[in-house]
């Protein structure tokens, strides 16, 4: 059986192809809009471009929103595929089935952030009569479109290289000591997690967009390891279950969606004000409040599991 | 400065197709504040197209439509809607009323998008009904009104936002003589309120009216000088 025949993959790739076709059509039109755009002109060409611009905006708004939703479906599909990939107990086994999986996931996450940025710039552009960010917005989309094409190639490579006869490794069979970045210990990792969280909240409160941008990117990296190699153990209540995906399952009350969702949203709101300032010269510092709020939720949920485990057993894992 | 200034306006339907045709050709027209202007011409001469462009209901193919020195043809859709809501009162030939609602509710509809309180809304609706002489029918569903009453309801709805500009497309086409004369009376009230009014019509009733400032003739999408 080919993995391309599974329902999830058929639906996922079909939607991906439709969205890519829509984006490609938009991209062709974007070139003509950007080349001939002169907002002060009242010529037939300019009016035609303005109409075309509305159409392209609508298509892009739809496709970009769909891509964000499709990311959730992709995560869900990985989980469903664990049923047909031998040895896989959850998404961890499916993602790690070949070396394209993690790269694809990282690219998807970066593109989601990029789409979010595009939606905000688009909103600012449409809110103004003069379309001041039209060229920058379309330039940003062009980069995203290249990313989407690369993502599609990676998806095909990834899906076609998932072995269906050879068992894959999964979190359930990983019983070695955790491999942490730079040889960190768990204690150091947790210390970094809370320190960086505190620093981000401080910078967010002081509305330091550049500092917040830098710290949030660093926090994404630290938080991934901290959740997978420390907090996750308390969620699963098992000292060797180091998996970022199992917590997305029903057995753990889907808590992973809240942990990862609030983390990614917090990071998104934390890095956006700096990027928006660079592109539009407009202040969007109010997003930093949402960043602090979301990251606090992440930290609270993670801490809750540690405290609960300690109160129940009197020991740490 | 003119209230409305139209410069080199063109409207091409079905561009790049065999059945492409110009509904408006190189229109240049200025309308001053408080002026009442009649656009005259036979069916297909471009009157309604010009009105819809003036009201921001559609976009031109080229040229400018300046209202208070702002080119409304360049407004994004959302701002175009806001412009219509605040500055334009439109009286349609077929009235375009909400059939299931009462006269009062129809007139209230444009105010629902504002942040006015109930009292202020009621006051505005009452004034509009009084101006259009439709107060006595306020609780009646518009489906049960006569043609003249429906039109007076449409007029009240058009003026309830107190727009500076009122556009009317063939306002007397569906009315008998008596109701047409009633419309003329309301038109005189507009004049007293210093509204800028543009009426597209081929009704000869408007030919000799003292309240009319100008009559502009249109033929085949062009202004006839």
What gap in Å lies between CA B109 and CA A295, rounded to an integer?
44
Interchain proximity B15–A44, CB inside 8 Å = yes
Mean local confidence (pLDDT), B45-59: 93
Give me the pLDDT at residue A162, please.
Answer: 85
Interchain proximity A54–B77, CB inside 8 Å = yes
CA-nearest residue to B76 within chain A is A129
The verdict on domain B35-52+77-224 having CATH code 3.10.20.310 is no
What gap in Å lies between CA A316 and CA A234, rounded to an integer?
9
Give me the pLDDT at residue A177, please.
Answer: 56
Q: What is the nearest CA distance from A59 to chain B, expressed in angstroms?
A: 16
pLDDT at B55 over 60: yes
The CA-based dihedral angle spanning residues B196, B200, B206, B207, taken in that order and rounded to the nearest 10 degrees:
110
CA-nearest residue to B70 within chain A is A129
Q: Which of B62, B64, B75 lies nearest to residue A129, judging by beta carbons?
A: B75
Give me the pLDDT at residue A178, please.
Answer: 57
- Helices A186-205 + A209-226 axis angle, to 10: 150
Helix (H, G, I), strand (E, B) or coil at B149: helix
pLDDT above 90 as % of chain B:
67
Q: Tell me, yes or no, if B25 comes closer than 8 A to chain A by beta carbon.
A: no
Q: Tell me, yes or no, if A54 comes closer than 8 A to chain B by beta carbon.
A: yes
Q: Tell me, yes or no, if B81 comes closer than 8 A to chain A by beta carbon.
A: no
Give me the pLDDT at residue A7, please.
Answer: 86
Q: Tell me, yes or no, if A44 comes closer than 8 A to chain B by beta carbon.
A: yes
Reading chain A (317 residues) residue by residue, the pLDDT tens digits are: 677 788 888 999 999 999 999 999 999 999 999 999 998 899 999 999 998 998 999 998 899 899 989 988 988 888 888 888 877 777 777 888 888 988 999 999 999 999 999 999 998 988 888 889 999 999 999 999 999 999 999 999 998 888 877 777 776 555 555 566 667 788 888 999 999 999 999 999 999 999 999 999 999 999 998 998 899 999 998 887 888 888 888 888 999 999 999 999 999 999 999 999 999 888 889 999 999 999 999 999 999 999 999 999 988 87
> Which residues of chain B neighbour A48 with C-beta distances below 8 Å?
15, 61
pLDDT at B95 over 80: yes
Q: What is the nearest CA distance from B18 to chain A, expressed in angstroms?
A: 18
Give me the pLDDT at residue A211, please.
Answer: 95
* pLDDT tens profile B158-210: 999 999 999 999 888 878 888 888 889 889 989 999 999 999 998 888 887 88
Evaluate whether B159 touches B89 at the Cβ level (below 8 Å): yes
Interchain proximity B15–A50, CB inside 8 Å = no
Q: What is the nearest CA distance from B14 to chain A, expressed in angstroms?
A: 12
B36-40/B214-219 β-pairing:
parallel
Q: Tell me, yes or no, if B75 comes closer than 8 A to chain A by beta carbon.
A: yes
Q: Tell me, yes or no, if B74 comes closer than 8 A to chain A by beta carbon.
A: yes
Strand-pairing partners, residue B214, are: B37
Evaluate whether A270 touches A288 at the Cβ level (below 8 Å): yes
Give me the pLDDT at residue A214, please.
Answer: 96
Best residue in A39, A40, A43, A47 to probe B by mutation, most B CBs within 10 Å? A47
Q: Which of B12, B62, B79 lies nearest to residue A42, judging by beta carbons?
A: B62
What gap in Å lies between CA B63 and CA B71, rounded to an integer?
10
Interchain proximity B74–A50, CB inside 8 Å = yes
Give me the pLDDT at residue A262, please.
Answer: 96
Residues in chain A: 317
Owner of token pair 């003509």:
A32
Mean local confidence (pLDDT), B202-224: 89
Q: Where are the alpha helices (DSSP H) in chain B?
A: 47-54, 77-87, 103-108, 118-132, 147-159, 177-192
Mean local confidence (pLDDT), B208-224: 90
- Return mean pLDDT, chain B: 91
Q: Which of B15, B64, B77 lies nearest to residue A42, judging by beta carbons?
A: B64
A137, with CB counted inside 10 A (0-12, 13-18, 19+), is buried
* pLDDT tens profile B137-167: 999 999 999 988 999 999 999 999 999 999 9
Q: What is the nearest CA distance from B9 to chain A, expressed in angstroms?
A: 9
* CB count in 10 Å sphere of residue A25: 14
Domain chopping of chain A, boundaries: 3-160, 174-313
Owner of token pair 């829509």:
A22
Q: Which of B12, B64, B79 lies nearest to residue A129, judging by beta carbons?
A: B79
Three-state helix/strand/coil letters over B65-117: EEECCEEHHHCCHHHHHHHHHHHEEEECCCCCCCCCCEHHHHHHHHHHHCCCC
Q: What is the nearest CA distance from B192 to chain A, expressed in angstroms?
A: 34
């Amino acid at each position: 059986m080919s993995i391309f025949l599974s329902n999830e993959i058929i639906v996922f790739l079909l939607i991906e192809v439709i969205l890519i076709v829509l984006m490609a059509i938009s991209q062709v039109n974007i070139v003509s809009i950007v080349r001939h755009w002169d907002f002060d002109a009242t010529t037939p060409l300019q009016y035609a471009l303005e109409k075309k611009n509305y159409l392209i905006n609508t298509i892009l708004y739809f496709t970009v929103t769909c891509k964000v939703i499709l990311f959730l479906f992709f995560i869900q599909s990985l989980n469903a595929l664990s049923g047909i990939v031998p040895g896989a107990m959850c998404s961890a086994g499916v993602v790690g089935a070949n070396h394209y999986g993690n790269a694809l996931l990282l690219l998807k996450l970066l593109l989601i952030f990029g789409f979010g940025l595009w939606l905000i710039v688009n909103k600012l552009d449409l809110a103004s009569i003069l379309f001041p960010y039209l060229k920058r917005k379309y330039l940003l989309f062009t980069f995203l479109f290249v990313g989407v094409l690369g993502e599609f190639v990676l998806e095909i490579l990834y899906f076609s290289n998932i072995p269906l006869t050879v068992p894959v490794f999964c979190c359930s069979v990983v019983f070695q000591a955790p491999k942490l970045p730079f040889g960190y210990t768990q204690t150091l990792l947790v210390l970094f997690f809370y320190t960086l969280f505190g620093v981000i909240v401080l910078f967010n409160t002081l509305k330091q967009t550049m500092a917040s941008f830098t710290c949030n990117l660093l926090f994404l990296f630290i938080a991934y390891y901290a959740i997978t190699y420390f907090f996750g153990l308390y969620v699963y209540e098992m000292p060797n279950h180091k998996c970022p995906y199992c917590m997305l399952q029903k057995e753990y009350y889907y808590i992973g969606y809240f942990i990862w969702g609030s983390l990614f949203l917090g990071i998104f709101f934390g890095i956006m004000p700096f990027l928006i300032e660079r592109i539009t010269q407009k202040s969007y510092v109010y997003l930093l409040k949402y960043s602090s709020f979301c990251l606090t939720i992440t930290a609270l949920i993670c801490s809750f599991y540690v405290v609960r485990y300690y109160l129940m057993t009197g020991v740490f894992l | 400065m003119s209230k409305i200034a139209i410069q080199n306006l063109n409207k091409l339907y079905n561009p790049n197709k065999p059945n492409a045709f110009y509904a408006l050709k190189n229109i240049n027209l200025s309308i001053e504040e408080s002026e009442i202007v009649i656009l005259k011409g036979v069916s297909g001469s471009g009157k309604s197209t010009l009105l819809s462009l003036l009201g921001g209901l559609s976009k031109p193919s080229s040229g400018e439509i300046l209202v208070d020195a702002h080119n409304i043809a360049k407004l994004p859709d959302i701002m175009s809607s806001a412009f219509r809501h605040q500055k334009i009162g439109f009286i349609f030939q077929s009235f375009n009323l909400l059939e299931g609602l009462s006269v009062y509710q129809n007139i209230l509809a444009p105010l629902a998008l504002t942040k006015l309180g109930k009292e202020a809304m009621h006051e505005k609706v009452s004034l509009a009904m009084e101006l259009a002489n439709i107060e006595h029918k306020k609780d009646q569903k518009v489906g049960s009104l006569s043609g003249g009453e429906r039109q007076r309801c449409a007029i009240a709805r058009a003026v309830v936002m107190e727009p500076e500009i009122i556009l009317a497309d063939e306002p007397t086409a569906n009315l008998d003589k008596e109701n047409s004369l009633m419309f003329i009376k309301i038109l005189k009230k507009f004049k007293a309120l210093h509204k800028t009014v543009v009426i597209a019509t081929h009704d000869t009733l408007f030919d000799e009216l003292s309240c009319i400032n100008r009559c502009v003739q249109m033929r085949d999408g062009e202004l006839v000088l």
